[in-house]
Amino acid sequence: MRVPCMRGPITSNHDVRVRQPCVLHVRNEFILIFLVSPQIKMYQGDFTTYSMDLVNRNVLMKLSPYLIFLVLELFFKVSECITQSEIDKHLELGKQYLAKGQLGDALSHYHLAVEGDPDNYLTYFKRGTVYLALGKAKNALSDLDRVLELKPDFTAARISRGSIHLKQAHYDLAQLDFYNALKTDPYNVEANDLIQKIDPAKERKRTAEYYYGRDDYASAIHYLNEAIEISPWATELYEFRSELHMLNGDEIAAISDIKAATKLQSDNTSGYLKLAKMLYKVGHATEALKSVRECLKLDPEHKDCFPFYKKIKKIEKFIVDAEQALEVKDYGECVESAKKILKNEKDVPNIIYEGNRLLCTCYSNNEQSSEAVAACSDALKFNDDPNVYCDRAEAYLQSELYDDAIRDFRSALGVDSHFDRAKEGLQKAESRQKQAEKRDYYKILGVKRTASKKKLRRHIEKWRKNGTRTIIRMMRK
């Protein structure tokens, strides 16, 4: 039941003065009838019964808590009503903020104007315009639908709605809106221009599907690009092109298109899951975890997102743990975490690569040369990473295998000719190789060339005690 909001006292049983176009919704009609019956008068919130002929005292006692609640609700609802001048003020402020490009502020004022006057089609149209400027097509469509409910012959709103349908690749709905707009205004330039884009967009989409069916993915992508130029808000077109990019071997472009699809449709659980799986496939476990969490925000019990989340959460933790341990030079912990990655992921090549890459780096830094060479070699089976070549080269240097080290530094430069680490490493390896061709006093002392000064002094002292002073003099030179 609906009762008009009122300000001021009711001076007679029939005095109902409506100040604003707001209404109060009451659930219990019996209570409302009892409250406004001729036997009860209200004076600024206080009511007094003059006749109890029709109401039993016990019934009144039972109903009194509900009556009190209803009166309080009435006062709160009345206090929320705003005057027409306040509505006009919000509309003016919304217009000013829109002109300044402050869309968020403009939207806030249009919200208040709509709440104050929910039957004004122009207010909905203005708010819909702001939604469009913010790229919130779903909200804009809702407002434009309401505009056309209130005023079906509002041509500008119909063209705006048709334009959104066209951008979303809802071609039949777009055509219907433009057709109806042109019935009202046959010479409308905008409607005529937009309706002519529908058939070419449909044709490009059909052509893309034709080439897709014949495994000509490059041609399909070409025609789909043209369709997306006409319909840049079409989630389905981005998802289709993403699939084509994957089939064409361009994983990065595929990921970019799925990201666009999830932005266009915020409740797109399947899109977030696809994005998470793509990111994980290319080895971006942390980004994949963020994406699958977005899916679970929309549906915490999603039958596909939840199991995938449990799996990659564990893998992502091992990767992060290994990288953090490497950063603080805790190479033992780094090795353990990297081993856990390889233990728990046997199928995704780029994640297996990540595990071996981390093992390679940590073993090399920990001077576990043979283990480093093995891990680096496993990593290089998946990816020609110049850093991995350099890590293996360092491991070869630790074992004084200069030819192998030089070869790996050169391989790194073959991947990236400007890679400074490889340039410096190559110079170091060639220098040590030349030194090794002379009499190797490090070898005579029984230490590696990478030994610390403390270790060198200890071995020199050992030789001094043995009376071998020639070596010491040569080392000083």
Amino acid at 86: E
Question: CB of 141 within 8 A of CB of 168?
Answer: no
CA atoms in the 13 A half-sphere facing the CB of 158? 23
Q: How far is CA 330 from CA 12, 362, 365, 406, in A?
A: 86, 9, 10, 28
Q: What is the pLDDT of residues 334-385, one digit of tens each?
A: 999 999 999 999 999 999 999 999 999 999 999 999 999 999 999 999 999 9
Find tokens 């309706």 and name the residue: 195
Please tell me the predicted confidence (pLDDT) of residue 51: 45
Query: How does residue 164 score in pLDDT terms, banded at 50, 70 and 90?
Result: very high
DSSP 133-193: HTT-HHHHHHHHHHHHHH-TT-HHHHHHHHHHHHHTT-HHHHHHHHHHHHHH-TT-HHHHH
Q: 476 versus 170: which is more confidently predicted?
A: 170
Which burial class, exposed, middle or buried, applies to 477 when counting CB atoms under 10 A from its CB (0-12, 13-18, 19+)? exposed
Which helix (H) or strand (E) segment is 393 a member of? Answer: helix 386-398
Question: CB of 275 within 8 A of CB of 291?
Answer: yes
Which burial class, exposed, middle or buried, applies to 366 when counting CB atoms under 10 A from its CB (0-12, 13-18, 19+)? middle
* Interatomic CA distance for residues 86 and 406, integer angstroms: 79
Question: By C-alpha distance, which of 370, 415, 371 is closest to 390?
Answer: 415
Q: 53 versus 20: which is more confidently predicted?
A: 53
Find tokens 């490090």 and name the residue: 442
Question: By C-alpha distance, which of 269, 263, 259 is closest to 294?
Answer: 269
Question: By C-alpha distance, which of 126, 120, 113 is closest to 151?
Answer: 120
Rounded mean pLDDT of 189-195? 97
Question: CB of 94 within 8 A of CB of 110?
Answer: yes
What are the residues whose beta carbons fall under 8 Å from the beta carbon of 375, sequence distance 6 or more? 356, 359, 360, 363
DSSP-derived 3-state class of residue 49: strand
Q: 391 versus 470: which is more confidently predicted?
A: 391
Query: How does residue 84 score in pLDDT terms, banded at 50, 70 and 90?
Result: confident
- In whole angstroms, how large is the CA radius of gyration of the chain? 38
Q: Which residues of 124-142 are buried (b: 16+ CB within 10 A; e: fewer)?
A: bbbbbbbbbeeebbebbbe
Q: What is the pLDDT of residues 44-79, one digit of tens each?
A: 444 444 444 444 555 555 556 655 655 555 444 444
Extract the tokens encoding 148.
């056309």
Question: CB of 322 within 8 A of CB of 330?
Answer: no
Please tell me the predicted confidence (pLDDT) of residue 49: 45
CA atoms in the 13 A half-sphere facing the CB of 147? 23
What are the residues whose beta carbons fall under 8 Å from the beta carbon of 287, sequence distance 6 or more? 279
How many other C-beta atoms are found inside a 10 Å radius of the C-beta of residue 468?
Answer: 13
* Interatomic CA distance for residues 347 and 340, integer angstroms: 14
Per 3-state DSSP, the chain is made up of helix, strand and coil in percentages (nearest 5) of 70, 5, 25
Please tell me the predicted confidence (pLDDT) of residue 342: 96
Maximum distance among all Cα pairs of the chain, rounded to whole angstroms: 129
How many other C-beta atoms are found inside a 10 Å radius of the C-beta of residue 51?
Answer: 10
Q: What is the pLDDT of residues 455-470, one digit of tens each?
A: 777 767 776 666 555 5
Residue 48 has φ and ψ, to the nearest 5°, of -135, 135
* Interatomic CA distance for residues 396 and 433, integer angstroms: 12
Please tell me the predicted confidence (pLDDT) of residue 24: 39
Question: By C-alpha distance, which of 125, 164, 118 is closest to 147?
Answer: 125
Q: What is the pLDDT of residues 97-155, one digit of tens each?
A: 888 888 889 888 888 888 888 989 999 999 999 998 888 899 999 999 999 999 999 99
pTM of structure: 0.70
